[in-house]
Chains A and B, each alone.
Chain A
Amino acid sequence: MKKKKKSQPSKIRKAPFVAIFVFLVLGAVGISLGEPSRVLEQAKQICLSCIGIG
């Protein structure tokens, strides 16, 4: 018979909020550097070698 662990009381975890904030800041830095235009430029083209053709 396995010993049962005690349930911990619910408390708000801060780590996910910190992580979300950090990555949103990172994304914002990318936007300020103009990365979305590069991503859009790539995504608009068919990359044949990327899909195994050509």
Chain B
Amino acid sequence: MDFVRKWVQALFFLITNGYWNFPVTRGIYQGPLKVICSPGLNCYSCPAATSYCPLGALQQLMAGIRLALENGQIYVGFYVIGAMGAIGSFVGRMVCGWACPFGLFQELLHKIPSPKFGIWRPLRFIKYALLLFMVFLLPLFAVDAFGFGQTWFCKYVCPAGTLEAGLPLLILRPGLRESLGLLFLNKLVILIFFIVWAVLASRPFCRTACPLGAFYALFSKIKLVKLRLDAERCTHCEACHAVCPMGVHFNESPDDMECISCLACSKACKFNAISLEVGGLPLSNQVPYRPEKAQLEQ
């Protein structure tokens, strides 16, 4: 299943970054597909991006809400939040595990041989604070004299933007290098920090700092497609603990907000206690549980 997931991740990477003419045009894609929401974190200033980043679009709308309303345009984010909410209600953080280019990037980094470490679990709350303050409140309320806010998360934090848009644009347009300053240095340091951390720990950005993951996590209990635990089959052997890239103890909290439904736990469970469900119904018929077979396999 991990093989299938890798292919799906690659497919989503190519679909959301399918404009390969950028070395010729030295610009970004400007076609009509950019009205479509990218499910994962994918900067729309990336030269190859073919869809819009929901976080970037949302911050832009929040930042310009006053001016829009003054001009009689009710651009308050319904379209973007509607798209994000529909994706979240459908698959939730499965996006992180299956469709996010930056998630894939971190997974590949983690394959580099090195000592591996866990991540202190309370750090996961940082991403909810970033979602609330840097995506909603600061762009909305910290405005300049003209009533225009800033895209705080994109501007000061987002390492995906630096990797996918900042660095490629500096290569494509050398003239931009003259505009570099402390702001870019700050973003570069954040990117390098998360790259190093991703080598040492599994998906550190997803687990601690991604506001999009935080938004999708709000749907963990109600999302349509999710993992289910068959409590009768579970022996609490804790095999699912060791394999989870997000540090979830699935048998203890099946609706954990960190679960990205990567199915690593399902594969590791010898008792077929973990499976996918759609709207409450199991996706496939499970093999009947035979304790003697499971004992033999152990």
Q: Is the CB of B179 within 8 A of A13?
A: no
B80-125 CB contacts (< 8 Å) to partner A: 80-86, 88-90
Query: Given A40-B34, A54-B179, A46–B169 Cβ distance below 8 Å?
Result: yes
Q: Chain A contacts of B219 at CB under 8 A?
A: 19
Distance in Å: Cβ of A19 to nearest Cβ of chain B: 4
Q: Is the CB of B78 within 8 A of A30?
A: yes
User: Within 8 Å of chain A (Cβ to Cβ): is B30?
Assistant: yes
A-B pairs with beta carbons under 8 Å apart, 7 shown? A4-B234, A19-B85, A23-B83, A42-B56, A51-B161, A52-B162, A53-B176
Considering the complex of A and B, which 3 residue pairs feature the smallest CB-CB distances, nearest first? A27-B82, A30-B79, A23-B85
Interface residues of B (CB under 8 A from A): 27-28, 30, 32, 34-35, 43-45, 51-52, 56-57, 60-61, 68, 73-75, 77-86, 88-90, 150-151, 154-155, 158, 161-162, 165-166, 169-170, 176, 179-180, 183-184, 186-188, 219, 221-224, 230-234, 236, 277, 279-282
Residues of chain A whose beta carbon lies under 8 Å from any beta carbon of chain B: 2, 4-7, 10-13, 15-17, 19-20, 22-31, 33-36, 38-40, 42-44, 46-54
